Amino acid sequence: MGSETRVFTLSQVSEHNHSKDCWLIIGGKVYNVTKFLEDHPGGDEVLLSATGKDATDDFEDVGHSSSARAMMDELYVGEIDTSTIPSKTKYTPPKQPHYNQDKTSEFIIKLLQFLVPLIILGVAVGIRFYTKSSA
């Protein structure tokens, strides 16, 4: 008689979220890491903070040893119902304002309103120096 695999929902796993009862989801499998909390090299806070979500990425990012992976077999309690895990939202950049052709002409007008008086002033100063130096 083979033992039947238990399947848990994310909310069921999330209830096991403290130092006396801590479960994690890694690679679609549910692990009861309660007895390992004190021995975890990264500290128990790391494990406790990973409850209530899929901790696969956190686990893989750290780069656990093969002995750590083998130890997980002893902590295995079942599978996660993946339909209960919210799908990861992909990063979508904020919408950029649509390029408005009309704004370009507004910018040119403002630029000209600034530059034209400067050009007139420059020409006037140039004429003044030119007429003074030739007299």
pLDDT, tens digit, 9 for 90 and up, residues 4-61:
889 999 999 999 999 999 999 999 999 999 999 998 988 899 999 998 889 999 999 8
With a pLDDT cut of 90, the percent of the chain lying above it is 47
Question: Residue 129: its pLDDT value, please?
Answer: 83
DSSP result, the chain: -PPPPPEE-HHHHHT-EETTEEEEEETTEEEE-GGGGGG-TT-HHHHHHTTTSB-HHHHHHHT--HHHHHHHHHHEEEEE-GGGSPPPPPP-PPPPPPP-HHHHHHHHHHHHHHHHHHHHHHHHHHHHHHHHHH-
Q: What predicted TM-score, i.e. pTM, was given to this entire model?
A: 0.62
The answer on pLDDT for 101 being more than 70 is no
pLDDT-derived band of residue 135, with 50, 70 and 90 as boundaries?
A: low
What span, in angstroms and rounded, lies between the C-alpha atoms of 112 and 8? 68
Place of tokens 């002995």: 67
Q: What is the CATH superfamily name and number for domain 7-84?
A: Cytochrome b5-like heme/steroid binding domain (3.10.120.10)
Q: Please, are residues 51 and 14 in contact by the beta-carbon 8 Å criterion? A: yes
Q: What is the pLDDT of residue 134?
A: 65
Decide if pLDDT at 92 tops 80: no
pLDDT for 3? 65
Q: 34: buried, middle or exposed (CB in 10 Å: 19+, 13-18, 0-12)?
A: middle
